[in-house]
Amino acid sequence: MGELAERAYLPVKNGLEQVGEMMVLTGKTLLSAVRPPFPYGLEFVQQFYFLLKLCWFPLIVSMVTLSYGAPGLQAGNFLEIFGSLDRLGGFFVLAVIRNFAPFVTAVILAGVGGTAITADLGARKIREELDALQVLGVDPVKNLVVPRFLALMVVTALFNGLAILAGLFGGVLATLTFNAPLGPFFSTLLTNATVTDLWGSLLETAIFGAIIAVVCCYKGMTASGGAEGVGRAVNQAVVISMLAVFAFNYVFTQTLLATHPEISVVK
Amino acid sequence: MSWVAIPRDLFASFGDIAKFGWRVIAEVLEGSAVRFFGESLRQAGILIVGSALVIWGMAFILGLTCGVNGAYFARSIGAPQIGGSFSALCDLREIMPLAFGYMMSAKVGTGLVAEIGAMRISDEIDALEVMGVSSLAFLCATRLLAAWMVLPFMYIAAVAAGFVGSYISVVQQVGEVSSGGYSLIFWAYQNPPDLLFSTIKGMAMATVIVLVGLYYGYTASGGPVGVGTATAKSMVLNTIVVHFLSMLGTMVFWGANPRAPIGG
C-alpha cells in the first residue's frame, strides 16, 4: 500500500514541480523582456525568420487538406441535402476562423517550430553551452528565451492569418467540388464574419504561441540524461504544449462564445 | 536553411520511408514478430501504460470543444435541441481521428524516435545484428505489431472519451437541451459503419505514425543532438500526414454519401 501511494505520489509531485518551474520561467521571461537593456533584437529577427521558413509549408498543406475534408466536404454534403450549399460560407466562419485555423496553427507551431526550438536549446544544454554562457555573464533567459518567446507569439498570430486564407481556399475547392458557384459562398462568409471573430482568433493564437514557447524553452533548457536526453525532451515538450494549448483553447472558445453572443447569430 | 528546405527534405526522404515501412510491414506479415511475441506484448504494455491516458485526455478536451461549438451553433439557428447532430458528426467523423493522430504523433511517434535513435547512436542496434538477431524484426516489427494489437481498442475508448466530453459541454454546461433529447439526436446521426470507418481512419494514421517514428529513430545519427533533431523532424512529417489522411478518409468514406438520417 505504501509503495502504491509512493508510485502515485511521485509523478504528481514531479508534474506540479514542473508546472511551477514553467510559471517561474514565464515570469522571468516577461520581466526580462521589458527591463533594459535589450540585447535580443538580432536573435529575435533570426528566430522569426527561422520559424517562418520552417513552418510555412506544413501549415499551408495541413490547413488546405483539413478544411477541404472536415468542414468542406462533410458540412457541404450535409447542407447539400437541404439544397442550401450557399450556407457553407457562413459555416466556414465558425469552422475555420474560430476553430480550425487556430487549431492547426497551434499544432504546426508546436510540432514543427516548438520541437526545433527544444532540440536546439537541448543540444546547447547538453554541450554545456548554456553553462558557459552563464559563466561569461550572459543571461540565457534574456538572450535565448525572450527572443524565442516574442518570435513565437508574433509568428503564431501572423501564421493564423495565413491559415485562415489557406482554410478558405480549401472551402473554395470544396464548393467547386459540388459544382456550385462561388459568389454565394463569399457572400454568406462575409455577412457572417465579424471583427470580433478575427481579433479573438488572433489573440488566441498569440497566447498559444506564448504557451508553446515557454513549454518548449523550459524542456530544452532542462534536457539531461545521456543519449536519449534531447529526444525525450522534445517528446515531452510537444505532448505538454499540445495538451496545454488545447485545454486553453476550450476555455477561450467557451469564454468568447459566452461573452459575445452577437458573433454566433446566423445572418 | 532555405525556404524550400522542408518540402525538399520531405520529398527526398519519402521514398526511403516507404521502402523502410514496407520492409517492417513485411516482417510483421511474414511472422517474424511472432517469434518475439513476448517483446511485442511488453511493447503493447508500454503503449497502454504510457500513452493511453494522454490520448484519452486529448480526445476528451477536443470533445468538450466540439460540444461547445455545436451547442452555440445550434442555438444560433434557433434549434438548441439539435446540438447532438453537430457533435455526433464532428466527434466521430473528424475530430476524434485528428485528436488521436495528433497525440499519437506527439507521444508515441516522437517517443519511438527518441528511444530507437538512442539505441542507434549508442551502437546497440549494431550489437543486436552482431549477435545474429534481426534488429528490424526485434525492434521495429514487434513495435508495429504491438501498435496493431492495442490501438484499435484504445481508439474506440478515445471516441468514447470524446463523446463524454461533448455530452458534458452540451447538456451539463450550456444546458439548453435535455439529456434524453440530446441522446436521441446524437445516436440518430451515427451508426456502426461510421464507427468502423472512423476506426479505419485512425488506424491508418497510427500505422504511418509508428512507421515514421521507427524510420527516423532507426536512421538517426550524430550523437544525442542528432536524436533530438530527428525527433523534431519526425513531427514535421507526421503533422502533414495526419491532416492528409484525414482528408483522404473523409473523401473515401463520406465524400459521396453524407449518411445522415434526413430525406429519403
Distance set, CA B201 to CA A103, A199, A203, B114 (Å): 20, 34, 33, 26
Give the separation between CA A165 and CA A175, rounded to whole angstroms.
15
pLDDT band at B162 (very low <50, low <70, confident <90, very high): very high
Q: What is the mean pLDDT of residues B206-227?
A: 93
Beta strands in A9-86 (DSSP E): none
Residue for cell digits 501511494? A5
- Rounded-to-integer distance, Cα A206 and Cα A219, Å: 20
ipTM of the complex: 0.90
Q: How far apart are the first and last CA of chain A?
A: 61
Position B205 pLDDT exceeds 70: yes
- Please state, for a pLDDT cut of 70, what percent of chain B lies above it: 99
Partner-chain residue, chosen from B228, B247, B260, that has the shortest CB–CB distance to A230: B228
Cβ pair B69:A119 closer than 8 A = no
User: Do the chains contact at A80 and B258, CB–CB below 8 Å?
Assistant: yes
The beta-carbon neighbor of A253 closest among B4, B69, B89 is B69
Residue A160 CB partners (closer than 8 Å, separation 6+): A101, A102, A105, A201, A202, A205
Instruction: Return the pLDDT at A1.
Output: 65
Residue A57 to residue B6, Cβ atoms within 8 A: yes
Smallest Cβ–Cβ distance between B224 and the set A70, A82, A227 belongs to A227
Q: What's the one-letter identity of residue B77? A: I
C-beta neighbour count of A120 within 10 angstroms: 22
Orientation of helix B37-76 relative to helix B96-103, angle to 10°: 140
Looking up cell 522534445 gives A234
Q: Which three cell numbers stand for residue B205?
A: 494514421
SS3 B125: helix
Tell me whether residues A119 and B246 touch, CB distance under 8 A: no
Residue B12 in contact with partner chain A when CB distance is under 8 A: no
What's the grid cell of residue B233? 523532424
Nearest to B57 among A53, A54, A243 (CB): A243
Asked if residue B205 lies in contact with residue B245, where contact means CB atoms within 8 angstroms, the answer is yes
Residues A231, B231: C-beta atoms closer than 8 Å: yes
State the angle between helix axes of B192-218 and B110-121 in degrees (0 to 180), rounded to the nearest 10: 20
Size of chain A in residues: 267
Handedness of CA B178, B179, B182, B183 (dihedral sign): negative
Nearest to B185 by CA among B261, B92, B119, B123: B261
Beta carbons of B108 and B208 less than 8 angstroms apart: no
Lowest mean pLDDT across A43-57, B45-59, B247-261: B247-261
Question: What is the Cα–Cα distance from B206 to B149, expressed in whole angstroms?
Answer: 12
Per-residue pLDDT band for B9 (boundaries 50, 70, 90) equals confident
Q: What is the pLDDT of residues A80-128, one digit of tens each?
A: 888 888 888 888 888 898 889 998 999 999 999 999 999 999 999 988 9
Residue range B14-37: mean pLDDT, rounded:
91
Interior angle at CA A54, CA A170 and CA B105, nearest 5: 75
* Residue-averaged pLDDT of chain B: 91
Rounded to an integer, the average pLDDT of B199-209 is: 95
Contact assignment for B65 to A56 by CB distance below 8 Å: no
Angle, in degrees to the nearest 10, between helices A229-259 and A101-108 = 160
Measured CA distances, B55 to A99, B5, B25, B146, B159 (Å): 20, 31, 24, 17, 10
pLDDT of B263 higher than 70 = no
A188 residue type, one letter:
T
Q: Provide the grid cell at A253.
A: 472558445
Residue of A nearest to B173 (CA): A254
* Chain B residues touching residue A94 (CB < 8 angstroms): 69, 73
| Model pLDDT, residue B108 | 94
Percentages (nearest 5) of helix, strand, coil residues in chain A = 90, 0, 10
Residue B264 has pLDDT above 70, yes or no: no
Q: Is the pLDDT of residue B121 over 60?
A: yes
- Residue A224 DSSP label: -
> Which stretch of DSSP H or E encloses residue B244?
helix B223-254
| B130: its cell numbers | 552482431
The stretch A220-224 carries a mean pLDDT of 90
Q: DSSP of B80-111, one letter per residue? A: GGGHHHHHHIIIIIIIHHHHHHHHIIIIIIHH
Does residue B85 have a pLDDT over 80?
yes
pLDDT bucket at B236, cuts 50 / 70 / 90 = very high
Higher pLDDT, A227 or A200: A200
3-state SS, residue A247: helix
pLDDT at residue B153, rounded to an integer: 95
Chain-chain contact of B254 with A257 (C-beta, under 8 angstroms): no
* Secondary structure (3-state) at A136: coil
Q: Categorise residue B220: left if φ over 0, alpha if ψ from -120 to 50, beta otherwise.
A: beta
List pLDDT tens digits, range A3-55: 888 878 888 898 899 999 999 999 999 999 998 888 888 999 999 999 999 99
Which set of grid coordinates corresponds to residue B196? 468502423
pLDDT tens sequence across A124-178: 998 899 999 999 999 999 999 999 999 999 999 999 999 999 999 999 999 999 9
Q: pLDDT class for B180, splitting at 50, 70, 90?
A: very high
Mean pLDDT of A216-222: 94
Cis peptide before A37 (omega within 30 of 0): yes
Pairwise CB contact (< 8 Å): B105 & A58: no
Contact B215, B110 (CB under 8 A): no
Q: How do residues A175-211 score in pLDDT, each as one tens digit? A: 999 998 999 999 999 988 888 889 999 999 999 999 9
Interface of B with A in 236-255 (CB under 8 A): 236, 238-240, 242-244, 246-251, 254-255
Task: Tell me the whole-structure pTM to 2 decimals.
Answer: 0.92
* B135 in A contact zone (CB under 8 Å): no
The partner residue sitting opposite B62, judged by closest CB among A235, A239, A246, is: A246
Q: Where are the alpha helices (DSSP H) in B3-141?
A: 5-30, 32-35, 37-76, 83-88, 96-103, 110-121, 124-130, 135
